[in-house]
Amino acid sequence: MARKHRASSRFRRRGGLLRSFVLILLVAAGLFYTGVAGTLLMLHWVNPPFTAVQIERRVSSWFDGEPYRKRYEFVPLNRISPNLQHAVIAAEDARFYQHHGFDWNQIRDAIAEDVEEHRERGASTITQQLVRNLFLSTNRSVIRKAVEFSIVPLAEGILSKRRILELYLNVIEWGRGIFGAEAAARAYFGIPAQNLTRLQAAQLASVLPSPLRRKPGRVTAYVRRILSRMDQMNW
């Protein structure tokens, strides 16, 4: 009888600890999503001075002991060449103006290719990439993806498509310490983002899948594919 009583007491204690842990997680999640929603509301009018990915790169440089210079200048969408807007949408998210944050056709195709051909194919929309840059990190994990998926509807509900594109083009990474279209255009071509030609825009868009490894110097097969997609899209 005494043993049963002790076992019952231990079970109740463990149950109490589990309930406390779950409650703490719920409170933390509530605070996090409240902060995210508040930040997205502010981003209607306020341009972000920094992003989570920019902080991640800065911290990584400290640990690596390498010098780090951040180039980041936020400019309004009307000071970013329509060529670059078109090229980035063609390369990264052709159905940007049709979906509500997730391109389920791309996700389905990516899963099919991964299963059938054993290779990965990116399916993240511009909104997903923006959320990742603003609030999360570049590290791949199931948890990060789940959080990303949960924030995307908030971003699409609070921000207009025009503002999402403007934020994305200004915060996305284009090389070590290079964030945003203005910094990228000046770093690689020595011109402001509003003066980018069609070819230069396609070259910049080709860097986005791997910005720390690629540079927009050559007219690669991928650049030609982006140019072809731009021709096929209504713009």
pLDDT digits (tens, 9 = 90+) for 88-143: 999 999 999 999 888 877 666 655 544 444 443 457 899 999 999 999 988 888 98
The domain in which residue 36 lies consists of 1-42
Q: Which of 78, 94, 90 is nearest to 193 (CA)?
A: 78
CA 153 to chain centre: 14
Assess whether 5 and 79 both reside in one domain: no
* CATH number of the structural domain spanning residue 182: 1.10.3810.10
Q: Are residues 64 and 141 in the same domain?
A: yes
Q: Which residues of the chain have pLDDT under 50?
A: 113-121
| pLDDT the model gives residue 120 | 38
CB 84 within 8 A of CB 204: yes
Same domain? 116 vs 145: yes
- At 115 the pLDDT is 44
Distance CA(68)–CA(95), nearest Å, equals 36
pLDDT at 65: 80
3 state SS of 15:
helix
Backbone dihedral angles phi then psi of residue 202, each to the nearest 5 degrees: -65, -35
Long-range contacts of 100-106 (CB under 8 A, 24+ apart): 100/153, 100/156, 101/125, 101/127, 101/128, 101/152, 101/153, 101/155, 101/156, 102/128, 102/149, 102/152
Q: pTM (2 decimals)?
A: 0.84
Q: Helices marked H in 93-214 — which ranges?
A: 104-117, 126-135, 142-158, 161-171, 181-189, 198-205
Strands 173-175 and 71-72, by their bridges, are unpaired
Number of domains in the chain: 2
Q: What amino acid is encoded at 36 in this protein?
A: V
Q: Among 235, 233, 213, 208, which residue's Cα sits nearest to residue 223?
A: 208
Do residue 127 and residue 31 come from a single domain?
no
Cα distances (Å, whole numbers) of residue 53 to 50, 58, 131, 217: 8, 9, 10, 24
Shared domain for 93 and 189, answered yes or no, is yes
Which has the closest alpha carbon to 131: 162, 154, 106, 104? Answer: 154
Q: Are residues 26 and 121 in the same domain?
A: no
23, 70: one domain: no
Residues 10 and 122 in one domain: no
Residue 80 to residue 77: CA distance in whole angstroms = 5
Residues 91 and 76 in one domain: yes
If we measure between CA atoms, which residue out of 234, 208, 220, 213 comes closest to residue 91?
Answer: 208
Q: What is the pLDDT of residue 161?
A: 97
Residues 14, 107 within the same domain: no
Identify the pLDDT of residue 34.
82
| Residue-averaged pLDDT of the chain | 86
**Based on the number of CB atoms within 10 Å of its own CB, is 160 exposed (0-12), middle (13-18) or buried (19 or more)?**
exposed
7 and 90 co-located in one domain: no
- Do residues 99 and 200 share a domain? yes
